[in-house]
Amino acid sequence: MLNPRLDILGPGPFQRLAALLDGVAPAAGLEPLNMALGEPQRAYPDFVAEIIDANRHLYGRYPPQKASPELRRANLTWLERRYGLAPGRLDPERHVVPVHGTREGLFMMALTVVPPRVRGRKPAVLLPNPFYHCYAGAAISAGADPIFVPAVRETGYLPDFHALDEETLARTALCYLCSPANPQGAIADRGYLERLIGLARERDFVLLVDECYAEIYDREPPPGALEVALVGEDLDGLDNVVVFHSLSKRSSVPGLRSGFAAGDATILDRFFRLRTYGGPFMALPADAAAAALWLDDEHVGPTRDYYRGLFDLAEKHLGGHPGFRRPAGGFFLWLEVGDSEATAVALWHHAAIRSLPGAYLGRVGPAGNPGLNYLRLALVHPSEITDEALGRIAAVL
């Protein structure tokens, strides 16, 4: 009566964290702080509320299925500015589909592109290990085998998809990549992206690049997959490639639920068709606010400086810890601590800090669980709160 694939999924990382910590008393006399959840705490621009209020009468209308033309144009003009793409090269009718938060888009893309069989065999979906749990849920729900590819110190914290065996690559339908990576903060450079795009085309699978942290970086801006793919004047450069972007981190509006997919027009056409059956659509007041945010870059630099300052604090308190590594992008600290579950319990009990064991973000492979000895800490809270919290963490470690 029920879908057995859900049994394969099991509980998500935050359900597991609740089971681990809910019976443990946090340290007395300290204000508990949640550093497990990557929820931006920086204030979003004032004009967001103003635009939503000015358009509140539009809550009485159904939103268009493909969002407003203004939002789609804003998505593409942002891509042009951010990645130096030629203006007008991408068509807002064909090359972009806004989504109601990128998680649903990342999930539904697997349902769009994974066929029942690939060359007569069960399809495979490649994903980094550790990973954003949505990827595995999408692969399993689409009826594929998730192939967990280690993204560890030896591989630069990025998965080496080229090292996979012939049998796996021959049945691959989809590959997920996150850059900057969640949780490690590693950035895929142009050479890495060129090789992976080449592999996707050689093996004819879809490459889906989650670039939701693209504007949160420490030193150099991460290259984008479309920027690398679009070489010359031929739009066939988009073949097999789709990227996802989000306002949640860039503009500190995770509750607005604004993101978009861009890339291969054939894939996006089918993706949009599926979304007309079950995808959520953004209310028009939120649509208008999202368009304004994508068109505005002035608030983004200070946001990036905010996170850079938090990593300066992390380096001050934890830079001497042997497991510390300053990430190139994103806002997570991926700290090597030994037993991640035991450390998470200790931080909660002795420092009232809620953290996420890396074991919950990875899967066991031939070399074990690559997240087993790591802890993910979200550096999102204001500097004075983060400074005090990192001091607590350092005292426990």
The string of DSSP codes covering 97-131 is EEESSHHHHHHHHHHHH--S-BTTB--EEEEEES-
Q: Per residue in 339-352, pLDDT tens?
A: 999 999 999 999 99
Asked whether residue 65 carries a pLDDT value surpassing 60, the answer given is: yes
Same domain, 127 and 175: yes
Q: Per residue in 71-92, pLDDT tens?
A: 999 999 999 999 999 998 899 9
Same domain, 210 and 336: no
On whether the pTM is more than 0.75, the answer is yes
What pairs with residue 148 in β-bridges?
127
Same domain, 349 and 202: no
Same domain, 160 and 240: yes
280 is in which domain, residue-wise? Answer: 48-295
Q: Per residue in 209-266, pLDDT tens?
A: 999 999 999 999 999 999 999 975 555 689 999 999 999 999 999 999 999 999 999 9
At 297 the three-state DSSP class reads coil
Which CATH number belongs to the domain containing residue 126 in this structure? 3.40.640.10
Same domain, 186 and 271: yes
Q: Which two tokens stand for residue 8?
A: 């394969």
Considering only CA atoms, which of 130, 126, 190 is closest in space to residue 155? 130
Angle ∠(238,223,93) on CA atoms, nearest 5: 35
Q: Per residue in 256-297, pLDDT tens?
A: 999 999 999 999 999 999 999 999 999 999 999 999 999 999
Around 381, how many Cα atoms within 13 Å sit in the side-chain half-sphere? 19
Percent of the chain whose predicted confidence (pLDDT) is above 90: 93
Element (H, E) at 135: helix 133-141
85 alpha-carbon distance from chain centroid: 22
Cα–Cα distance, 295 to 273 (Å, whole number): 27
